[in-house]
Amino acid sequence: LAKTTQPISMDSYEGQEVNITCSHNNIATNDYITWYQQFPSQGPRFIIQGYKTKVTNEVASLFIPADRKSSTLSLPRVSLSDTAVYYCLVGGANQGGKLIFGQGTELSVKP
């Protein structure tokens, strides 16, 4: 399973766009990139998943360059309620759904 590296923490202000980058140099050909969000005292929540280029949903965008060795989660116009830990995970169907969580990025949004 590919290892991921992401910043331990980030600070932002309300209304700003936040980009969290994750490195996964050993990503395999059939690996997908998935991001989860976790609030205190709650379980992780699926945000977005992608394989290449760009994926967008109502919550975030995921940018994946051609070499797929990194990915960037983009949160547009963050609010205080986006303060959470964000996890980048890499894995594929051959892992049988197994998720390997790293330490995550603790995002703090200030007023």
Partner 1 sequence: EAGVAQSPRYKIIEKRQSVAFWCNPISGHATLYWYQQILGQGPKLLIQFQNNGVVDDSQLPKDRFSAERLKGVDSTLKIQPAKLEDSAVYLCASSLGVKETQYFGPGTRLLVL
Residue ranges binding partner 1 (CB under 8 A): 41-46, 49, 87, 93, 96-104
Q: How far is the CB of 36 from partner 1 (least distance, A)?
A: 8
The residue among 13 and 101 lying less far from partner 1, judged by its C-beta, is 101
HEC-encoded secondary structure of the chain: CCCCECCCEEEEECCCCEEEEEECCCCCCCEEEEEEEECCCCCCEEEEEECCEEEECCCCEEEECCCCCEEEEEECCCCHHHCEEEEEEEEEHHHCCCCCCCCCEEEEEEC
Q: How far is the CB of 20 from partner 1 (least distance, A)?
A: 15
Q: How far is the CB of 45 from partner 1 (least distance, A)?
A: 7
The residue among 8 and 66 lying less far from partner 1, judged by its C-beta, is 8
Q: Rg of the chain's alpha carbons, rounded to an integer?
A: 13
The residue among 9 and 53 lying less far from partner 1, judged by its C-beta, is 9
Q: What are the two backbone dihedrals, phi and then psi, of residue 75, each rounded to the nearest 5 degrees?
A: -110, 115
The residue among 70 and 105 lying less far from partner 1, judged by its C-beta, is 105
Q: How far is the CB of 80 from partner 1 (least distance, A)?
A: 21
